[in-house]
Amino acid sequence: MKFFIDTANFDEIKEAYSWGILSGVTTNPSLVAKESGVNFHDRLREIAELVNGSVSGEVISLDAEGMIREGEELAAIHPNITVKLPMTPEGLKACKHFYEKGIKTNVTLIFSANQALMAARAGASYVSPFLGRLDDIGQDGVELIREIAEMFAIHEIETEIIAASIRHPQHITQAALAGAHIATTPYKVLQQLFNHPLTDKGIEGFLADWAKREGK
Ligand code: E4P
């Protein structure tokens, strides 16, 4: 499973990219809205020039025509841009359009395996099932990833599964074991993945032993 980061904050992206683990970035209108005073297209360009991988920028139109217009503007920003579309009939019309034009798409707000199958058949490069939001309403987000992964394997579907709405480190392990190709992860959760008390204790021990050897 690969890591994408789920943020529009450039400092977070730069820092996580420097760790060598990032294969892409996803944004959504809520994440962009948090970055006050930032021009959406300029920010996407900045990210796409830094990160060697897919950078999802989401449309906000509700009709296919508007989504296609917005998506074409986004795709023109940089070859790394992936057009993020909602899982609606209009979204899938736009998805088909971009598939035919060879532009990558990420169909978002997936909450069932059937939605994922439809998006894949409309030519989506990626589908984004939302784990955390399903868990929030008492359903099993990880189980959804497992179903989609099995369905795609049986039918030899090449669309990649992005585990989205990740809330904690356990989601990462569970999504990887359930067959997600990618986890798009908030910066805070990426930081948490480093943490283990035995790692800290181990470093302390090594440094203490080294200091003794140096006679300090
Ligand atoms: C996916 O691409 C979305 O940006 C994201 O993962 C949504 O997560 P949330 O449920 O934490 O808003």
Tell me what pLDDT residue 204 has: 97
Nearest residue to 130 via CA among 167, 82, 75, 179: 167
Distances (CA, A) of 95 to 38, 42, 70, 140, 160: 27, 24, 13, 27, 15
Tell me what pLDDT residue 216 has: 67
37-42, long-range: CB < 8 A, 24+ apart: 38/8, 41/73, 41/74, 41/77
E-strand spans in the chain?
2-6, 22-26, 54-58, 81-86, 105-110, 126-129, 160-163, 182-185
> What is the rounded CA–CA span in Å between residue 139 and residue 88?
21
C-alpha of residue 183 to centroid of ligand 1, in Å? 11
Catalytic residue among 2, 14, 34, 84: 84
Tell me what pLDDT residue 214 has: 77
User: Which pair of structure tokens corresponds to residue 127?
Assistant: 């589908």
The residue behind tokens 């690969």 is: 2
CA atoms within a 13 Å half-sphere pointing along the CA-CB vector of 99? 18
How does pLDDT run across 92-121, given as a tens digit for each residue? 999 999 999 999 999 999 999 999 999 999
DSSP code at position 122: T
> What is the rounded CA–CA span in Å between residue 90 and residue 68?
10
User: Cβ(130) to ligand 1 under 6 A?
Assistant: yes
Q: Is 2 a residue of the active site? A: no
Measuring from atom 5 of ligand 1, which residue has the nearest CA? 165
pLDDT mean values, one per 10 residues, the chain (216 residues): 97 98 96 93 96 97 98 98 98 98 98 98 98 97 98 98 98 98 98 96 97 82
Measuring from atom 4 of ligand 1, which residue has the nearest CA? 28
C-alpha of residue 169 to centroid of ligand 1, in Å? 15
Ligand 1 pocket: which of 28, 107, 160 to mutate (most atoms within 8 A of CB) = 28
Q: What is the pTM of this model?
A: 0.96
Distances (CA, A) of 12 to 25, 56, 105, 186: 11, 16, 24, 9
User: Which pair of structure tokens corresponds to residue 30?
Assistant: 């809520």
DSSP code at position 159: P
DSSP code at position 44: H
C-alpha of residue 165 to centroid of ligand 1, in Å? 4
Measuring from atom 8 of ligand 1, which residue has the nearest CA? 165
Tell me what pLDDT residue 213 has: 86
Q: Which atom of ligand 1 is nearest to the CA of 28?
A: 4
Q: Which atom of ligand 1 is nearest to the CA of 132?
A: 10
Q: Which atom of ligand 1 is nearest to the CA of 31?
A: 4
